[in-house]
Chains A and B, each alone.
Chain A
Amino acid sequence: MGIVSRGFQGRRRDDDDRLPPGQYLVEDFPVLSAGPTPRVPRERWEFTVGTEDGRTHRWTWDELMALPQETPTVDLHCVTKWSKLGTTWQGVSLDVLFEDVESAADHALVHSYGGYTTNLPVEDLLDGKAWIVHRFDGEELAPQHGGPARLLVPHLYLWKSAKWVRGIHLLDEDHPGFWETAGYHNYGDPWREQRYEGD
Chain B
Amino acid sequence: MRGRLPWRAARLREVRVETATARTLVFEVPGWPGHLAGQHVDVRLTAGDGYTAQRSYSLAAPPDGELVALTVETVPDGEVSPYLTEVMEPGDLVEIRGPVGGWFVWRPASRAPVLLVGGGSGIVPLMAMIRERRRVGSRAPFRLVYSLRDPESRYYAEELRRPDPGLDVTYLYTRAAPDGVSRPAGRVTLADLAEGGWPTGFEADCYVCGPTGFVEAAADLLLALGHAPERVRTERFGPTGG
The reply on A197 being an interface residue by CB < 8 A is: yes
Q: Check if A5 sits within 8 Å of B47, measured CB to CB.
A: yes
Q: Check if B100 sits within 8 Å of A5, measured CB to CB.
A: no
The reply on A31 being an interface residue by CB < 8 A is: yes
Q: How far is the CA of A26 from the CA of B104 in the complex (A)?
A: 24
The reply on B13 being an interface residue by CB < 8 A is: no
Q: Check if B229 sits within 8 Å of A114, measured CB to CB.
A: yes
Interface residues of B in 190-242 (CB under 8 A from A): 212, 216, 219-220, 222-223, 229-230, 232-234, 236, 238, 240-241
Interface size class for chain B? 35 or more
For residue A3, which residues in chain B have a CB less than 8 angstroms away from its CB? 9, 46, 93-95
Q: How many residue-residue contacts, CB under 8 A, span A and B?
A: 125
For residue B170, which residues in chain A have a CB less than 8 angstroms away from its CB? none
Q: Check if A7 sits within 8 Å of B101, measured CB to CB.
A: no
For residue A26, which residues in chain B have a CB less than 8 angstroms away from its CB? 240
Interface residues of A in 72-102 (CB under 8 A from B): 80-82
Q: Check if B216 sits within 8 Å of A10, measured CB to CB.
A: no
Q: How far is the CA of A5 from the CA of B220 in the complex (A)?
A: 42
Q: How far is the CA of A50 from the CA of B238 in the complex (A)?
A: 37
Q: Check if A37 sits within 8 Å of B94, measured CB to CB.
A: no
Q: How far is the CB of A5 from chain B (nearest CB, A)?
A: 5
The reply on B161 being an interface residue by CB < 8 A is: no
Q: How far is the CA of A2 from the CA of B42 in the complex (A)?
A: 14
The reply on A35 being an interface residue by CB < 8 A is: yes
The reply on B44 being an interface residue by CB < 8 A is: yes
Q: How far is the CB of B137 from chain A (nearest CB, A)?
A: 27
The main secondary structure of chain A at its interface with chain B is: loop
The reply on A182 being an interface residue by CB < 8 A is: yes
The reply on B54 being an interface residue by CB < 8 A is: yes
Q: Check if B56 sits within 8 Å of A5, measured CB to CB.
A: no
The reply on B2 being an interface residue by CB < 8 A is: yes
Q: How far is the CB of B82 from chain A (nearest CB, A)?
A: 10
Q: A34-B104, A36-B222 are in contact. Are A2 and B234 (CB under 8 A)?
A: no
The reply on B181 being an interface residue by CB < 8 A is: no
Q: How far is the CB of A79 from chain B (nearest CB, A)?
A: 9
Q: How far is the CA of A183 from the CA of B104 in the complex (A)?
A: 12
Q: Check if A34 sits within 8 Å of B102, measured CB to CB.
A: no
Q: How far is the CB of A85 from chain B (nearest CB, A)?
A: 14
The reply on B136 being an interface residue by CB < 8 A is: no
Q: Check if B230 sits within 8 Å of A5, measured CB to CB.
A: no
Q: Check if B4 sits within 8 Å of A35, measured CB to CB.
A: no
Q: How far is the CA of A4 from the CA of B2 in the complex (A)?
A: 28
The reply on A28 being an interface residue by CB < 8 A is: yes
Q: Check if A10 sits within 8 Å of B47, measured CB to CB.
A: yes
Q: How far is the CA of A181 from the CA of B53 in the complex (A)?
A: 27
Q: Check if B229 sits within 8 Å of A35, measured CB to CB.
A: yes
Q: Check if A22 sits within 8 Å of B233, measured CB to CB.
A: no
Q: Check if A80 sits within 8 Å of B53, measured CB to CB.
A: no
* CB-CB nearest 5 A-B residue pairs: A36-B219, A182-B102, A198-B4, A2-B46, A30-B241
Q: Report which A residues bind B (CB closer than 8 A).
A: 1-12, 22, 24, 26, 28, 30-38, 80-82, 114-115, 144, 178-179, 181-183, 195-199
